[in-house]
Structure 1
């Protein structure tokens, strides 16, 4: 199990990211577009164009980790930035990663009613 500290900062990259990118090109995007250091211990999340795939880049103190998650149904609801940044609570981030629309807590897909 990988333990991520509870007080870690999480940054969501605006727009869609090419999901063919790996460690180096995502770290370069953090440096050039966000003007942040990818080795500072924060989590950097990137979403694909279709919205069903995210990648998260994280420096654990020894090296860069790259996590990915693909939803079989639904999509990840990404916030729209009206200004420079968007603040989400830990609960909203948790819902975002589960494919739940954090603005109105409902899943982006509904299971079939086969009972």
Structure 2
């Protein structure tokens, strides 16, 4: 797995076949991050019920998506840029639990 897990604040509106390429381009151009270093980057869809996790596995870009049937993923404000997460916090996020204050 990668060296770190990061939330990319704001919403992601990318659709289509080349979604992983669009997300990687956003990381490079907007945030100055290299998506090929093995870190995981988490993006949230506009509605808040969909997240996409992008990472480079050493060979190719990989993309994981998850949609909540109820509720919305807890997300930082758009002004926060990129927020570092621990592996445990990422696990909470993927389960739909408030990763900032897990109980």
Q: TM-score, normalised by structure 2?
A: 0.83
- Determine which structure has greater relative contact order: mean sequence separation of CA pairs < 8 Å that are 6+ residues apart, divided by chain length: 2
Q: TM-score, normalised by structure 1?
A: 0.75
Residue 66 to residue 94, structure 1, CA distance change in 2 (3 Å)? same
Indicate the RMSD between aligned Cα atoms, in angstroms.
2.1
2:63 aligned residue: 66
Which consecutive residues of structure 1, in runs of 5 or more, have no partner in the other structure? Answer: 107-115
Which runs of structure 1 show a deviation greater than 4 angstroms over 4 or more consecutive aligned residues?
A: 81-85
Which consecutive residues of structure 2, in runs of 5 or more, have no partner in the other structure? Answer: none
Q: Distance in 1 between matches of 2:79 and 2:25?
A: 24
1:56 aligned residue: 53
| 1:86 match: secondary structure | strand
Q: Distance in 2 between matches of 1:28 and 1:72?
A: 29
- Matched residue count: 101
